Every structure is written in structure tokens, then in C-alpha cells.
Structure 1
Amino acid sequence: MSSSFFNRLLGLVLIAVLLGAGGRSLWVWLDQPIESVAVEGDFRYIDASFLSGQLSPLVSGQHWLSVDLDQLRERAKLIPWIHEARVSRHWPNALTFELEEQRPVAWWNDAFLINAEGHPFSPGPSDTLERMPNLAGPGDRSADVLAYYHVLEARLAPLGLELTQVRLEARGAWRFQVNDTFWVILGRTGLDIRLERFLAAWHRSLSERADRIRYIDLRYPNGLAVGWHGESAAAEVSRQ
């Protein structure tokens, strides 16, 4: 091996060592402790103090360059009321969380809320929850129950009836509550026909006695049964 070749090789090795050392020094210089966190978003149900308390543990002890942004994003999405999150670095030692708040449309199984996509989530502290319908059913059927709620709402609203609860039983039977007062029992099959039967009976006579109704049972081949307040059993079976 000639001396000139050896000298060139040694020079390349030295350059690589210097670049490596410089790269490590640059990384250490850039990877400073996170000093500030900004939060962006349009919030209706949560406030800044709640978010600060939830986000602070996520960034505590983290460094600006080495922090895993994807992991931060996933952890931020676990915060109550957060639907989506994006996290970005800002020179020299700051992070920005862009947070999208959940928009609840109904209660689900009493303890949860669901959003417009039918996804349940745990509610965090909020003083601004408005009145919402109560939906219930098997844990994996929230989207189906919400979809049927919209079907029923579209049929009942023109009659001035407020749909306050919709429930799907474990065995597939449906029922709904009107005006926070009486229940309409649809059962498992023939839902469209049974709903039409209810609407026809409402137009014909039931609307005039709405304050006395305890429940309406549509699980009959050609009619319905009405349970009245003050009576222990259905007092009327009407035929169509």
C-alpha cells in the first residue's frame, strides 16, 4: 500500500469521525427540554385549565427533537373530549397541539356519549352539555342505534313528537320513548310496517289522549295495544 493512498484513506476516516462527532454535538444542541406547549382548537365543552392538566404529564421530561410525535398524538387522543390530535415542533423548544373536540349528539348506555359518527366516548368534566336523547344497546351497535334514531326522528318530528330515547335490546327488539312520557314497543321484525301502524293510530285518535298513554305495544299481527296510566294492563287493542 503506497503512502499517498494510506494518507488519503486516513484523511477520509478523520473527516468521517469529525462529521460524526459534529452531528452528535448538533443533535445534543438541538434536543433541548421542551419549554412551552401551545394548544389550538375550537373548544366548546372543555377549557384551557383542563387541557393544561391533561397535556402537562405527556410532555414532562421530554426533549424537543427526540420526543415521539406519533406517540404524543395517540396519547392526546385518549384525553376525554378529544376526537383528533396533531402535534408539531416549533423552533427552538416548543410543541403545538392542534386538537379537535368531540361533538356529542346523544347519550349512550347512560355512562357514555356518542358523536355524529356513532362512536362512543367517555365524557370529561363539562358544564355546557345541552339536553340530548338517550340511546342504548349492545356495545358494538352504537352506530346502528344512532342511524335508526335519525330514521325515527324524521318520521316523528312532523307530528310535533320529540324522540327522547331509543333502545335496542340484546335480542334485537326495538323500542323508543316519546316526549319523555310514553314508550312505543316495536319488537324485532316488521319495523317499517309497525311504525306506520303507530303513525296511523296517532293521527286517528291517540294524539288526543297522549297525556294518558303509558306505552304502545305494536307487537301484534294487525293491531296494537295501549297501556294507560292508572291501569295495570293494556286496556285497548285496536285493529287495522
Structure 2
Amino acid sequence: MKLWVRSNFSISVLLLVGALAFALLSIDRAKIQSVAIIGELSESQILSVKDRLLAIDIEAEQEFIRDKLLALEWIDQVNVRRQWPNAIGVEIVPETVVAYWNDDGFINSEGRVLVTDLIAAGDLPGLYGPDGSEREVMSRFQELGGILTSHGIVIRNLTRSDLGSWTIETRRRITILLGKEDLRERLDRFLAVRELLQSQSEIKRIRRMDARYINGVAVQFDDELNLSNEVVAARSEINETLGVQSL
């Protein structure tokens, strides 16, 4: 008797599992009737996603849909989920860019350049360099920017020349020439001179600081031609103390 009950129960379970599998198979083959686009997206970005979805087979595997959407360079992450019985949800995470690149594109924190009009970046610094230097420039921007930020200085532009020379322009429009080598040491010299000039209330008049000298920094002031003899003498004393050359 027990054996029959067990046998009957086993058959019932098998029948139930079979019916469930058939139901899932039927649902899985149901036509997709709606797609939900999820994410903090602009209107133009939503239209871009819609156009791509209309151009592909949304009945395809989720991985296929994901790969097709990731081909849009402004998209960083895509998550595709089936919403039973006949819908899918597409979650989009746009790329986060940290700077403009050569005035015709954007660059992210990994040094990848994106040329697209679907990113609203706003007020970002500008990074400049020859083709192939994107990751190097981004790495330098993160390194030098971190040092300067700790001193209350924000990089507005960072440029690497074709010959490998580096130039910084700060948010206050001060140009810092660092050259090719010993960038950290030269930046430290710039900061030392800047601190002294700031204590002398001269910081707002600085136009350019050239730290490429071996033992000093050359400073150019925007009102250099209209200085009184007293101010010139005071600056000469500062320069002599720090090994600064006035341009």
C-alpha cells in the first residue's frame, strides 16, 4: 500500500513538473509586446535606445540585446531582464566622462575617448594630447590634479605636446610650464613659490609660472610693465630668496 502511494505521488510530481515546464516554455516563446527603458537618461538618449531596439530582434537572447546596446559608445552598462509574460526591461547606465578631449570629444576616467553628442557634460576641464596618448594624459591629470586640488587649485586645461612636454592652465587662468621630466619636483617648486607670492598678495597678478628651470621658477605678472619701483624691489627680493626668475 505504501509502495503504491509513493508511486502515485511520484507520478503526480512528475506530471506537475512536466506541466510547469510546458507552461514556462510557452511563456518563454510569447511575443514581446512592450519594452521598458529604465535609467536617468535625456530625451535624446532615450530616442537613441529606441532606435537601436527597433533595429534589432527583441525576441533574441538577452545577451544579444545587451551587446547591441553596448555598441552605442555613450552607454556604459546595460541590464536586460525578461518581465513575464510578454515584456522586457532594459536598464541603461550612461558613461561618466570627466573631461573634454581635444575639443571634439570626451574622455572617461579610464582614458577612453567618446565622440558623441549624446552626453551633456557641462563645465569640465579640457585635456589635450596627440592620438594614442589618451590614457597617459588621463593618468597625469589624475596625478597632478590630485596634488593641486589639495592646495585649492583646480586644473582647467592639461596639455601634452607632441614632444612630451606638459602644460597646466588653472581655473584662475595661471599657466604652469612643467616640461618633460621631474614633473612632481617641478610642481612642488611651483607650489612653494605660489605660497610665498600668496602671502605677499601677489597671487592674483600671476599670468605664467615656468618651472622648467633646474633650481627655480620664472614668474610672469600680467601688469609687469606698470609696477612701481617699490613693488619691483619687493619681487626681486622674493625671487632672490627662492631662486625665482621674473620673465
TM-score (norm 1): 0.70
Shift of 1:149: 2.1
Look up the match of 1:3. none
1:114 aligns with 2:111: no
Look up the match of 1:145. 137
For 1:95, give the aligned amino acid.
Answer: I
Look up the match of 2:29. 30
Contact 1:106 1:133 in 2 (8 A): yes
For 2:53, give the aligned amino acid.
Answer: V
2:191 aligned to which of 192, 199, 205: 199
Distance 2:122 2:192 in 1: 32
Matching of residues 16-165 of structure 1 within 5 Å: 30=29, 32=31, 34-41=32-39, 43=40, 46-47=41-42, 49-60=43-54, 63-65=57-59, 67-79=60-72, 81-125=74-118, 129-165=121-157
Contact 1:64 1:93 in 2 (8 A): no
> What per-residue deviation string (whole Å, max 9, x for no partner) do you get for residues 76-95 of structure 1?
12335311113233444423
More helix per residue: 1 or 2? 2
2:210 aligned to which of 188, 206, 217: 217
| Structure 1 alignment gaps of length 5 or more | 1-25
TM-score (norm 2): 0.69
Alignment: residue pair count: 206
Distance 1:200 1:64 in 2: 61
Contact 1:64 1:94 in 2 (8 A): no
**Percent identity at matched positions?**
27
For 1:30, give the aligned amino acid.
Answer: R
Shift of 1:162: 2.2
Contact 2:74 2:119 in 1 (8 A): no
Distance 2:55 2:152 in 1: 57
Distance 1:229 1:50 in 2: 44
| Structure 2 alignment gaps of length 5 or more | 1-24, 226-231
For 1:58, give the aligned amino acid.
Answer: R
> What per-residue deviation string (whole Å, max 9, x for no partner) do you get for residues 170-223 of structure 1?
211111112241110000011122112111211222663222222111122222
Contact 2:197 2:203 in 1 (8 A): no
Q: Residues 199 and 123 of structure 1: is their aligned pair in 2 closer, same or farther, counting only changes over 3 Å?
A: same
